[in-house]
Amino acid sequence: MIAENIEKLNKRIENASKKAGRDPSEIKLLAVTKTHLLPIIEEAITHGIEYIGENRIQEAEQKIPFLKDKIREFHFIGHLQSNKINKLMKLEPALIHSIDKQSTARKLNEYLGELQKKQDVLIQVNTSAETSKFGIDPQETLSFVREIAKLENLQIMGLMTIGMFTSDETIIRKCFQTLHRLFEEIKQENIPGVKMKFLSMGMTDDFEIAIEEGANIIRIGSAIFGARNY
Ligand SMILES: *Cc1c(COP(=O)(O)O)cnc(C)c1O
């Protein structure tokens, strides 16, 4: 089942890329493994999954150490709490998608200083204006990026968003366009220490729109592993 799901997903990614005039190889598929157990994740890895995303540190601790040498990268995509920074750093995430708070970013920077390490991060933007969602207001994103850029151990690599939960494609597309526009605007600013390389947007229900709007990391759970059972 997993093999078939991945095959279908790759076809969909290919089709969406073609439609957008893009090369599918420039799109990183991040398999979101939350709630799923090791054997099924390992099965996905044998069928070509190379990048794994988790959104809860406690859950990631149970799995990532066992997967580390079988994957290329582990990404943290969830809300980062400052009291869990040390636990997350032990898991050595290649990328943290979800920086959206100055105080947490400062603590992360300090902790990295102690470890003498640098960390690639994305800034999470709340493009849907839903109050239930984490992320920086689009209007405040540029100034937030400028502040975070001053933290010497954090390397900003791009932006991330979660599209609006709605069946209205126009609204979802607007979220992704907002993120892409910010991405280009920030790139133009040439802020020292800031690279606008990754645009992380699109999940199972909206990744095709995200690809059309320029995503180069898509975060996919259900289309690979089936519905989640909490
Ligand atoms: C769960 C999750 C996903 C994947 O969701 P699916 O709809 O199952 O593809 C993507 N991004 C984040 C931040 C998530 O928490």
- For residue 30, give Cα distances in angstroms to 9, 35, 203: 12, 15, 10
Q: How far apart are CA 143 and CA 122, in angstroms?
A: 15
φ, ψ of residue 221 to 5 degrees: the values are -110, -75
pLDDT (0 to 100) of residue 229:
78
Q: Which atom of ligand 1 is nearest to the CA of 223?
A: 9
pLDDT value of residue 130: 80
Distance 162 CA to ligand 1 centre (A): 8
pLDDT at position 186, please? Answer: 98
Residue 128: the pLDDT is 93
Cβ-based burial of 225 (10 A; exposed 0-12, middle 13-18, buried ≥19): buried
List, chain by chain if needed, residues with CB within 6 Å of any ligand 1 atom: 32, 34, 55, 77, 162, 203-205, 219-222
Please report the DSSP string for 79-121 in residue order: PPPGGGHHHHHHT--SEEEEE--HHHHHHHHHHHHHHT--EEE
Tokens describing residue 80: 């980062």
Contacts of 48 (CB under 8 A, 6+ apart): 6, 10
Nearest ligand 1 atom to alpha carbon 34:
1
Give pLDDT tens digits for 13-70: 999 999 999 999 999 999 999 999 999 999 999 999 999 999 999 999 999 999 999 9
**pLDDT by 10-residue block (mean), the chain, 230 residues:** 97 98 97 97 98 98 98 98 97 98 98 98 94 89 98 98 95 98 98 97 98 98 91
CA distance 44 to 38: 10
Residues 6+ apart with CB under 8 A from 37: none
> Residue 32 pairs with which residues in a beta bridge?
53
Q: What is the pLDDT of residue 61?
A: 98
Q: For residue 59, how far is its CA from the centre of ligand 1 (angstroms)? A: 15
Which of 3.40.1030.10, 3.40.1010.10, 3.20.20.10, 3.40.50.620 is the CATH number of 2-225?
3.20.20.10
**Domain map (residue ranges) of the chain:** 2-225
Q: Can you tell me the distance from the alpha carbon of 210 to that of 202, in angstroms, rounded to the nearest whole number?
A: 5
Tokens at 163, concatenated: 């599209």
